Amino acid sequence: MMKRRGCFFLACALFFVLASCSKMPTEQESQERAQEVFATLQTEDIEHTYDTYGSKEWKEKNSVDAFEEKVFPQTDDSIEEFAVESVTETKDERIMVDGTVDYANVTKDVRMIFTKQLLMDSFELSNPVARLEFPDSIVEEDVTIGEETDFPLNGKITLPKDVDEDIPVVILVHGSGPADADGTAYAYKPFRDIAWGLAEQGIASIRYDKRTFVYGEESFSGGAEEMNVEEETIDDALQAVEQAASDDRISDDHIYIIGQSLGGMLAPRIAVNDSRITGIISLAGSPRSLADISLDQQQMLVDEQPISSSKKEELEKEIEEMRDEVDEILALSKEDVRSTSLLGFPAYYLWEMEQYPVEDMIESLDIPMYILQGDADFQVFKEKDFVQWKELLAHREEVSFSSYPHLNHFFIEHHEEAGDFQETYEYPGIVSEEVIEDMATWIHEQ
């Protein structure tokens, strides 16, 4: 009996040893491991980092040379600082560590995924983003937009450090596609730049992850076939207005929408839905339909290509046929349009937007507007979109306009040396200080 009892205790001891080996590492342990990885990378000891911290499966898929090329794509790269931003347990019981890496001249986002044993199972870096030091004169606080809804979103409110009561606030509304709270696109973080710049000018801002960035197709009650801007963008912008209105530091009479690209197109529609919005700023928005803009972008791509005149004629004919198709599909009923696609979108997405023409939304508004356009924008066009804004709003005294030579769709300096016009977005840059100052001046004048 004693022998069997001893075996029982031995089995129990073994169980607890195994159980302790399989437990998830703590957040502190995960942060420390990520810091260890970058401490070795700061010495540029790639092989040691690769051998010591890489999982067997990851090393089978990634050579040490490929890892070095990812971490140090330029021969003069050097890592100055690494900071952990979040630690999350994944559904498959791994640990995801998100952070930022400061190189000498640029900053990159990094995502590392570790096994339970804290071995690196994935290592991904974003495009480089121009380094921007957090100003000493401002503060940021975490907020949750739509906390009581089915789609709560992480966000930030940015304010001057010495906050007075009743300061103005802007709600930053994204353009097309999923995006984080900083509006990260290619090598840019335009919403971060605007938020920090405006806070230095005494203006608060609220920015947040876009719903599709967090929830994907789950964002839409009717599924992907019924994608619509109401659920993608508008509902959350209105929740952000609610957040601003509930903050005692914010002036109830100075809540503004700043929409970039698609957000600029939707700014009037957002404002129509909440009388607390006291003004809108459109950055590279348009009063034209998204379908028209998409077709013009197709035409621009044709014009930019070094092709024969016969090939160009062929492609232009295809674009004209697409224009006819757009007219036909957008004339369908709500039920019939659900099962079709158009210009890379579910047709319902474009059809739903057509039910709310920008010019109709503008007529319903009696608030100040500020329309800004970059001359080097190849997604929204000064000669078409900016001109149409001016025509629609010519009779409105409370509307201002500004355009900027050499600034692109994100109001960042256009790089002529880019081999391809779209490659300009790969050059790290920050939103023009002139643009931020102009917006701040306009807001303070209201």
Summarize pLDDT for 235-286 with one digit per residue, the tens: 999 999 999 999 999 999 999 999 999 999 999 999 999 999 999 999 999 9
Cross-strand bridge partners of residue 371: 282, 401
Q: Which pLDDT value is given to residue 438?
A: 98
CA distance linking residue 169 with residue 143, whole number of Å:
14
More confident residue, 407 or 299: 407
Q: Which pLDDT value is given to residue 332?
A: 82
CA distance linking residue 5 with residue 27, whole number of Å:
38
Burial class (CB in 10 A: 0-12, 13-18, 19+), 75: exposed
CA distance linking residue 409 with residue 290, whole number of Å:
15
Q: What is the percent of the chain where pLDDT is above 90? A: 64
Q: How many of the other CB atoms lie within 10 Å of CB of 204?
A: 24
Check whether 423 has a pLDDT greater than 80. no
Q: What is the CA radius of gyration of the chain?
A: 26
Fill in the DSSP letter of residue 87: E
Q: Which pLDDT value is given to residue 209?
A: 96
CA distance linking residue 329 with residue 337, whole number of Å:
7
For range 105-110, the mean pLDDT: 85
Confidence of residue 352 (pLDDT cuts 50, 70, 90): very high
Q: How does pLDDT run across 32-78, given as a tens digit for each residue?
A: 999 999 999 988 688 999 999 999 999 999 999 999 988 988 766 78
Q: What domains, with CATH codes, occur in the chain?
A: 23-126 (3.10.450), 138-289+357-445 (3.40.50.1820)
Confidence of residue 421 (pLDDT cuts 50, 70, 90): low
Check whether 22 has a pLDDT greater than 70. no
Q: In the numeric block, which tokens belong to residue 67? A: 């890892």
Q: What end-to-end distance do the CA atoms of the chain give, in Å?
A: 89
Q: How does pLDDT run across 191-215, given as a tens digit for each residue?
A: 999 999 999 999 999 999 999 999 9
Q: Which pLDDT value is given to residue 422?
A: 66
Check whether 340 has a pLDDT greater than 60. yes
Q: Which pLDDT value is given to residue 2?
A: 39
Check whether 15 has a pLDDT greater than 50. no
Check whether 414 has a pLDDT greater than 90. no
